[in-house]
Amino acid sequence: MKLLGILHASILCATGSLGYQPTPDVNLSRRSVFFLPPAVAALVLSPSQSNAAGPNGLTLNKASSGLQWADVREGSGQPLKPGAPASIDYNMASTVGRRPQIYTTKDKGSSYRWTLGDGTTIQGIEQAILGADDIPPMLPGGIRRVIIPAKLGYESILSKSNPKCLEGEHIGPIPPKNSDGAYQRWYQQYCNPRIPYQPDIVLDLKLYGKRTKN
């Protein structure tokens, strides 16, 4: 019965029902989205076509850079600094298309890792983790939803001649080619020279690291 209650609350949260006010149980399910059974978590983490860029019950803040963000769960411990290794799980979706959901690291079974400030990761993710003048940094264990504009996303890829659009060849994260169509969905939106613009990216990020013990 408890699982059914969480499922029902998650469906309401994910579909953005008009006039719906989250209850404490719904907030709990949002705070635990990375740990719910896959079928339930997908409803929370995967925006629908009509509300792919919606807050799903969260109040989004907009930074001067254009990045929008909201904390689902605050972490603890010390923020990371440039030059530090970073490890995240993420759920990626687009704000357009019939299938806005693109990819989650949970499908791959391993987190996305890089060194902060090394130029291998899109600016929107680095801003979300490191913070900026009007964005607080994430803390280990935190979960943050961000909506990233093209200029902080993959726009730089198409400025290169004959981009290969592969992980390790260009700025990431990029879904692997063997990810059940995720790479093709990502490519069509973010590495397609026939499309003159790139839509915003919706990412749910979970940051790993040393947390403060309660």
pLDDT tens digits for 17-50? 222 223 233 333 343 344 433 333 443 444 333 3
SS3 content of the chain, % helix, strand, coil (to 5): 30, 20, 50
User: Strand ranges (DSSP E) for the chain?
Assistant: 61-62, 68-73, 85-94, 101-104, 112-115, 143-148, 201-207
Note the pTM of the prediction, 2 decimals.
0.74
Task: List the one residue out of 73, 69, 89 whose CA is nearest residue 201.
Answer: 69
Instruction: Tell me what pLDDT residue 144 has.
Output: 97
Which tokens belong to 134? Answer: 């009007």
Instruction: Tell me what pLDDT residue 212 has.
Output: 65
Which tokens belong to 171? Answer: 């700025």
**Span 108-118, average pLDDT:** 91
Which H/E stretch holds residue 12? helix 2-15
Per-residue pLDDT of 51-102, as tens digits, reads: 444 556 788 999 999 999 999 999 999 999 999 999 999 999 999 877 799 9
Q: Taking the CA atoms of 178, 184, 190 and 192 in sequence, report the sign of the dihedral they define.
A: positive
Instruction: Tell me what pLDDT residue 21 has.
Output: 29
* pLDDT of 104 higher than 90: yes
Which tokens belong to 9? Answer: 């609350």
